[in-house]
Amino acid sequence: MLPEKVVALSKTKLILLMVAAIGFVAVGIWLLTLDAQVIASQPRFNSPTFIYAIAVVAILFFGACGYIGVKKFFDDTPGLILNAEGIFDNSSGVSAGLVPWSDIAGINEYTIGRQKFISILVYDPEKYAERGNALRRMTNKANIKMCGTPINISANSLQVSYPELLAMVNDYFQYYQQGDARKG
C-alpha cells in the first residue's frame, strides 16, 4: 500500500494569484472610468460598449478569483490528498472533494494557453458536475464541455510543481487501479 501523500496549499502562490486578481480588477475599474468619447476616438477597440463589457467581465471574474484566493489563503485543509480511498481535491474554487479510485476512469493532461491541468476522467461526470452552488455547477458543466470532465487540478495553488503533481497522481492511479493495493 502506498503511504498517504498530502500536498499543502502554497500561501506564496495564493498571494501571487490574489495580487494578479487585484491588478485585473483595477484595470477593469480603470476601463470603466474612461470617457466614451475617448474610447470612440481610438483607432482600435473604439467601441465603448465593448470596452465597458470587458471591464465588467474583468471585475466580476477576477473579483471572484480574488475572493476564492482569500478563502483558500485562510483554509488550513490540504490542497490535495492521495491515499487508498482516492484523490481528495481542495486545490481550487471548484474543488471536487473526495473522488474514489473506483470512480476514476483515467488521467489526462489538458492545456489552456500555457496553463496545464491534470484532468481526472470519471465514469459519471454528471455526479461531480452537480456538486456545489449554481456558479460551481455551471463551471463544472463548462469544464465537461471543454475538457471532458468536471475535475481538473492545477499546481497553481499547491506546494508542488506541475511535473511532480502529474507523476504523483499517475503513480497513485496506476497502483490503485491495477489492484496492487489488494495484493499486499
Average pLDDT of the residues in 108-122: 93
**With bands split at pLDDT 50, 70 and 90, how would you rate the model's confidence at 181?**
very low
pLDDT over 70 (residue 182):
no
Average pLDDT of the residues in 1-28: 95
8 A C-beta contact, residue 165 and residue 153: yes
Separation between Cα atoms, residue 113 and residue 95, nearest integer Å: 21
Return the closest-CA partner of residue 91 out of 67, 72, 116.
72
Return the closest-CA partner of residue 97 out of 108, 109, 81.
81
pLDDT at 180: 46
Average pLDDT of the residues in 76-105: 94
Q: Decide: helix, strand or coil at residue 6.
A: strand
pTM confidence score? 0.80
pLDDT over 90 (residue 135):
no
Low-confidence winner among 2-16, 113-127, 135-149 (lowest mean pLDDT): 135-149
Q: What angle do CA 140, 73, 17 make, to 5 degrees?
A: 70
**With bands split at pLDDT 50, 70 and 90, how would you rate the model's confidence at 179?**
low
Average pLDDT of the residues in 85-104: 93
Q: Decide: helix, strand or coil at residue 70.
A: helix
Return the closest-CA partner of residue 10 out of 62, 77, 53, 73.
73
Separation between Cα atoms, residue 159 and residue 83, nearest integer Å: 18
